[in-house]
Amino acid sequence: MAVEYSAMAKDGGEIRYVDGKRWLFIGSLILPMIPALSVLLYFSGLGVIATAVPAVFFFFVVPIVDMVIGEDTHNPPNEIVPAMIADRYYSWLVRSAVPIAWLSFIAAVCLVGTQDLPFWSVAVWLIGCALINGNSITIGHELGHKQDKTDRRFAMWSNAVVGYAHFRVEHNRGHHIWVSTPEDPASARMGESIYRFATREIPGTLLRGWKDEAERLTKNGLSVFSPQNEILQGWAITGTAAIILATLLGPAVLVFIALHHMLGWYALTQANYVEHYGLLRQKKDNGHYEPCRPHHSWNTNHIFSNLMSFHLQRHSDHHTNPMRPYQALRDFPDLPRLPSGYPGMFLMAAFPPVFFRVMDPKVMAWAGGDISKVNVAPHAQKRLVQAYGGVA
């Protein structure tokens, strides 16, 4: 059933609007369901082939559907946005994804802990489930930007699915401040492979998140190791879940859980890698960086993968207006645009020579051919200056 919003236009007339993607956003619940649905397929007769479903869906089905369906550049009218933001349907849709993510994680562990699977099946199952369950951080990302305490609790539980308890702290207090600068470990530099980026981003964001939380607690007169430490709270949830599963299924599942969480972290690394690759905010004369603008984030409007990720891929508007909820994120003209949705970009990033060949010219076009305006990886500086000219 369509829901119509209305608002007064500047000329005094009435604007009526129906969000065509309102019910399509239910598709964002499909992705976290995939591992649990795959377990059902396993026991429905598909057998070990079902363990390949998550990886195939993520790396092949989503990019192909993105390519076939294409992009959607439509924006809701500005006058209607307040009514859409006030509609609690969108918020509860994100909240409902949290228990689904936990169900899929538990189902993934139970399958490994109770079934005699061949090694290749366990490996494919691990990769597919970890990358999809890593999407729980995307869910936590949307909820973690809210001021509502209930949303923030849901965010903590969502991030805890893969043990990424420091995300809300680091993302809000660190990444959004330093995004698209050399100081940000979560902003990829031109010429930096995703594997090299991971060795900088994963420990860098963890340390920055812990530092930010420690500073918050100290300012409030609390110990860093107090129960109010948000990171420790999240890790407690993750650890308790692991202990319960190991008690019920045997300690061997702890190896699967540990690898699952590590790859879940890498799932976020893939997103961070493509979202700001090579883009650089310029320093002003006073030594401060210019404000973050829409052109400091790579954007993509591919419909299917955006519906799978609560509009995360409209990243340009998100960084310009971090409190704007997913249903109201806008597209802008002349933005730096990715050639595919995120899953397709992740697959491309896995092969650095291919990724560089596609993305480096786009970065240089964004910078107007001036490499001094690019966030360049120091180890690749000489090669890139020789390739594109200019002075680093």
Neighbours of 221 (CB within 10 A): 7
For residues 183-209, give the mean pLDDT: 97
Quote the tokens at residue 3. Answer: 């829901």
Residue 1: per-residue pLDDT: 64
For residues 234-252, give the mean pLDDT: 97
For residues 5-18, give the mean pLDDT: 85
Quote the tokens at residue 166. Answer: 């420091």
pLDDT band at 220 (very low <50, low <70, confident <90, very high): very high
**Neighbour-count burial for 24-54, b at 16+ CB within 10 Å, e otherwise:** ebebbbebbbbbbbbbeebeeeeebebbbbb
Residue 188: per-residue pLDDT: 98
Phi first, then psi: what are they for 123, rounded to 5°?
-65, -45
Domain assignment present for residue 375? The answer is no
For residues 146-151, give the mean pLDDT: 92
Residue 8: per-residue pLDDT: 81
Domain assignment present for residue 5? The answer is no
- Taking the C-alpha atoms of residue 254 and residue 235, their distance in angstroms, rounded to an integer, is 15
For residues 189-200, give the mean pLDDT: 98
Contact present, 315 and 297 (Cβ < 8 Å):
yes
For residues 148-167, give the mean pLDDT: 96
The DSSP letter of residue 328 is: G
**By CB neighbour count within 10 A (0-12 exposed, 13-18 middle, 19+ buried), where does 56 fall?**
middle
Confidence check: pLDDT of 331 > 70 = yes
Residue 241: per-residue pLDDT: 98
Please, what is the Cα angle at 59 between 56 and 60, to 5 degrees? 70
Which residue range forms the structural domain that includes residue 60? 24-357
Contact present, 131 and 54 (Cβ < 8 Å):
yes
pTM of the model: 0.94
Question: Which of these ranges, 6-10, 203-207, 222-226, 345-349, has the smallest mean pLDDT?
Answer: 6-10
For residues 314-336, give the mean pLDDT: 93
For residues 269-295, give the mean pLDDT: 95
pLDDT band at 14 (very low <50, low <70, confident <90, very high): confident
Confidence check: pLDDT of 392 > 50 = no
Contact present, 20 and 80 (Cβ < 8 Å):
no
Domain assignment present for residue 8? The answer is no
- Taking the C-alpha atoms of residue 298 and residue 378, their distance in angstroms, rounded to an integer, is 21
Longest dimension (CA), the chain: 68
Cα within 13 Å of Cα(378), Cβ side:
3
Domain assignment present for residue 196? The answer is yes
Residue located via tokens 């812990």: 210
Confidence check: pLDDT of 174 > 60 = yes
For residues 269-293, give the mean pLDDT: 95
Please, what is the Cα angle at 59 between 344 and 234, to 5 degrees? 95
For residues 39-52, give the mean pLDDT: 96
Each residue of 92-143: pLDDT tens digit? 999 999 999 999 999 999 999 999 999 999 999 999 999 999 999 999 999 9
Phi first, then psi: what are they for 100, rounded to 5°?
-65, -40
Helix count and strand count (H, E) for the chain:
18, 2
Domain assignment present for residue 131? The answer is yes
Residue located via tokens 């969108």: 90
SS3 8: strand
| SS3 assignment for 135-178 | CHHHHHHHHHCCCCHHHHHHHHHHHHHHCCCCHHHHHHHHHHHH
Quote the tokens at residue 51. Answer: 């363990």
pLDDT band at 391 (very low <50, low <70, confident <90, very high): low
Residue 390: per-residue pLDDT: 65
Each residue of 51-108: pLDDT tens digit? 999 999 999 999 999 999 999 999 998 899 999 999 999 999 999 999 999 999 999 9
Domain assignment present for residue 9? The answer is no
Domain assignment present for residue 377? The answer is no
Q: What is the mean pLDDT of the chain?
A: 94
Contact present, 190 and 384 (Cβ < 8 Å):
yes
Domain assignment present for residue 40? The answer is yes
Contact present, 313 and 343 (Cβ < 8 Å):
no
For residues 140-148, give the mean pLDDT: 93
**Nearest residue to 155 (alpha-carbon basis) of 166, 172, 173, 168:** 168
* 300: region left, alpha or beta (phi > 0 left; psi from -120 to 50 alpha): beta
Give the count of domains, the chain: 1
